[in-house]
Structure formats: structure tokens, C-alpha cells
Structure 1
């Protein structure tokens, strides 16, 4: 299923509260990748691709949520999967990373593991795709720092040096890989892309830009960026009108 990135970040809010977040972004030259590949919780992120086995992603997150490390969880699933040589499976948890590419995946295929981030792809134009994806993310990664790009502040960032929300940075990482060639199957014009982010941080209103899919398009990255921009603008408008109502859990506060 082309290429994807899984990331884990830890950060503090301006109020001094410590949190972590996990995200997956993926794109492919097939429709509906958002229903197949990305699996995320506040404890980890997993992507399953190549000859997709959705159960690997779903159960992988369940195992991580139950306390297994990402390595133990995904290795156990692959060991029980007769189709493992045709799978790609990778992910992150709070303490580590895991990445696997079966030897029967479509060329070019491969994966990379970085600090709290994994990238994998198959049927690509070349290795440069995942290298560019990894480099683009690592250039903007947030670790052990105060991050104002959370909660209501995410829609009101004024300082260009402040980190952007993880969802946006994951989309930008996909865009970097796409520029390098991405999926080589040019005979398949209908494409898709998705980004999903979960955090231990709670919000009065759930940020809508953290769960976005473009299921069928010929311009997946541009359309996912467009969906993100609209979701962010809508979030800011909603905050302005309904923030007090959500905090009070009462529509009477809308006036």
C-alpha cells in the first residue's frame, strides 16, 4: 500500500502538563487507504500495508493498549501470519519502534526506523521516497519540549517558529516522499491519503484535523492538505462560537 509514516512525540503544554501523541499518515494509488492502513491510540501507532491484513493493525493496537511493547505485539502477529512474506508492518509506542518488510513485497520496497518514527513503502519509484519522508518529519519533530500547538492554541499560532500540529507535519512528510516519485503505478490514477493522530491530552472540543481521509482523488496530498486547512479553519470558528458551551457542557452558553 505505497508508503506511510508512524510517529510518537512527547511534549508539555504551556500549563506544564506532560503528554504524548501518536500519528500515522499514508498515501497510495488505490482508493480508501484510510480504512485499511492507519491504526492509532494514545499508546501507539501502527501501519499495515503491501498485501494488507487489516487484522494486523487492529490487533496490534489492541495488544499495545493491553501493555505489550510494539515489537512484541507486531512480531507475535507476524509469527502467526502465513502471509507475512507479503506484508509490511511498522509502528511506534512510547518506548520504541518496529518495522518489517516481507521479502515478497512489490519492488521497490523497504523501511526505515528513526528516533520515535518509522517509515515504510512498497511499489515505490525508489528508496528516495522513504528517505525524503523520514527527513522531512525529523526536521520538525517535537520531543520533550513545550508545545503550544495543542488544544485551542493550535488554531491560533502566531509565531512561525512554534511547531505545527503533528497532523500537518505528517502530511508534509508524505508530500516530501510524493515529490520524490511516490507510488510508481502511474496507470492507476485514482488515489487516496489519510492522517490520524491520537493524544493523551484531552480537549473540550476534539480537533477535527487529527482524523482526515481523502478516499478517491487524483491529487491525494494536495487534497489532504486542503482538508486539513479547512478542518483547522472550521475548528477555529467553532472555538470562537462554542468553546464556552463545550467547557460547560451546556448549549445555553452559546447565547
Structure 2
């Protein structure tokens, strides 16, 4: 009753999933920085996540992980799982999963789904992942999820969606979780997940070093004026900007002596 993709892009791993199921993000995705990612679904075996990631951390390939997890599981016929590691990816669909059920895998991705409108869902997801090469992994995963949704997705309808991306040190405060968003119950969960991902990028995205503007001259004057309107005035400009950003949640985009154009636009909008 779910369609998902696990993917690898450089040193980042991620999972994106959608389903006619309450809070699918609770059950399906698992990922560990420097190790890999797993999606467990159909009649999901949640133990696959820690067990599979431990096996990957120990050097097993994705294919080995799938074989070892399902081989030791008496309920394997009702399981579906996708795994991606640093070297390969694999997918498995048990013969008792409800139609349509199946998956596809390449070097750096595995897509799978069950109770779908048809094979076209995983085909569309695979094509979207491949076509988006060069984009950030979060965008690639969301593009694949959107393609699956637009191709018909879960034949029972829509309810929830989730995305998880891990990369060493890429998260808030240096955590390895770069992105972890869930839509637990919504009429258009994939669209809502994309909206949340855009907000996450706004607040926590990495500034483009080439686009940063020196806090000098007219730029500095404008920033100081905008900050004063918001009640932050007097003293060092970097300190004032830091004080505002701490309350407006843009601190991850600050760089001493410079300003991200994204942050400047939020100041112009009067964000508090």
C-alpha cells in the first residue's frame, strides 16, 4: 500500500515514500550517514531498518542485506524492501504482496511499490530519478515521488508522505540528518511534503558562497535600516543581524561580514 525510493548521491543517502496509510514516515524509512538507506513496506518488518543498516555498516552489499533479512524472516512473502549502499542497490517484493507490486533497482537507487495502479508508477519514479541527476538528492527523491504520484500511485488513494536524507555533518548544528519531514494525514501529501521541503531549504539551506554580498556600503546601510525597523538597532551590524536571525530562524544562513541574498529578501519582507 506504498510506493518509495531509496537513493544515493555522492555521500548522501535518502528515502522518500507515500501511501494511503496514516503516518507512513513512521514505518518505512531508515537511513544512516556513511552507511546507506532502507525502505521496509507492504507488511513492513520494522526490524529490517536497524538490522539492515547494521549489516551495511559491517560491509554487506545491498543484495546481501536483502537476502539475509528476507532469508531469516518467515513472513518474507508479504514483505517489500529497498536497500541502497555505497556500492549497489537492491529491491525485493514477496509473492504474497497485493497487486500491483514490484520494483526496479539501479546502481544508486531502488524503487518499489505495492497496491499500485500499475507498473507505470515505479517506471515513472525510476525515470524521474535518472533525469534529475545533478540536482540535490532531496530534489531528486521528491521528483521521483511526485512522478509516482502523478502516475497514479497507491490505487486506494492518498494520505501520507515522508522524506529522510542523511549526510555527514549536513544537519542542524552538525547533525547527520540533513532532512527529515513527514506529512502524516493530508489530501495531497506529496504536494504538502514539497511545500515543507521548500520551507526547510529557506530556513536551513546552505548559502551559495558566490552569491553572498559583503556587508559594506549601500548593502550595509540597507540591512541596518531594515533591522532597525524590526527593533534591532545600535551596535555591531553582524551582532544585530545575528540577534534578528536567532529569532527569525535564519541563523544557519549567516556568514560573518556578508549576507545571503535569501536572508536579505526575508529582511525586506519584514520577517520577525
TM-score of the pair, normalised by structure 1: 0.77
Deviations 1:112-147 (A, max 9, x none): 0122111000000011000001100111124xxxxx
Q: 1:167 to 1:221 in 2, by over 3 A?
A: same
* CA pair 33-22 structure 1, distance change in 2 beyond 3 A: same
Cα separation, 1, equivalents of 2:52 and 2:167 = 18
- How far has the Cα of 1:240 moved from its partner? 3.5
- Which residue is 1:8 aligned to? 8
Match of 2:162 among 171, 180, 194: 194
Give yes or no for the alignment of 1:167 onto 2:138: yes
1:239 aligns with 2:230: no
Structure-1 separation of matches of 2:27 and 2:161: 11
Partners of 1:110 and 1:210 in 2: CA distance? 27
**What residue is the counterpart of 1:131 in the other structure?**
123
The Cα RMSD (Å) is 1.9
Which segments of 5 or more consecutive residues in structure 1 lack a partner in the other structure? 11-19, 143-162, 245-255
1:17 alignment partner in structure 2? none
Which segment drifts farther, 201-210 or 48-57?
201-210
Match of 1:52 in 2: 44
Q: In the alignment, which of 203, 226, 229 is matched to residue 198 of structure 2? A: 229
Q: Tell me, yes or no, if the aligned pair for 2:88 and 2:106 is still in contact at 8 Å.
A: no
**Following the alignment from structure 1 to structure 2, what is the Cα–Cα distance between the partners of residues 93 and 109?**
23
Structure-2 residue corresponding to 1:111: 103
Distance 2:27 2:82 in 1: 14
> Is this contact kept in 1: 2:145–2:190, CA < 8 A?
yes
Which runs of 5 or more structure 2 residues have no equivalent in the other structure? Answer: 206-249, 257-272
Q: Tell me, what secondary structure is at the counterpart of 2:64?
A: helix
Partner Cα separation in structure 2 for residue 33 and residue 83 of structure 1: 20
Task: Pick one of 74, 78, 95 that aligns with 1:82.
Answer: 74
Q: Distance in 2 between matches of 1:26 and 1:84?
A: 20
How far the C-alpha of 1:206 sits from its partner, in A, is 5.0
CA distance in structure 2 between the aligned counterparts of 1:177 and 1:217, rounded to whole angstroms: 17
Deviation by residue 1:160-185 (Cα, 9 ceiling, x = unmatched): xxx3x211221111001111100001
Alpha-carbon displacement from aligned partner over 1:24-65 (angstroms, at most 9, x marks no partner)? 100000111111001111211111111111111221112112
The higher radius of gyration belongs to 2
Once the two structures are superposed, what CA deviation does each residue of 1:79-115 show, in whole Å capped at 9, x if it has no partner? 1101100100111101111111000001001100122
Matching of residue 181 in structure 1 with residue 173 in structure 2: no
Question: Conserved in 1, the CA contact under 8 Å of 2:63 and 2:90?
Answer: yes
Moved beyond 3 Å, runs of 4+: 200-209
Q: Is residue 26 of structure 2 the alignment partner of residue 35 of structure 1?
A: yes
How many residues of Structure 1 are paired with residues of Structure 2 in the alignment?
Answer: 210
1:202 & 1:75 partners in 2: Cα distance? 31
Aligned to 1:248: none
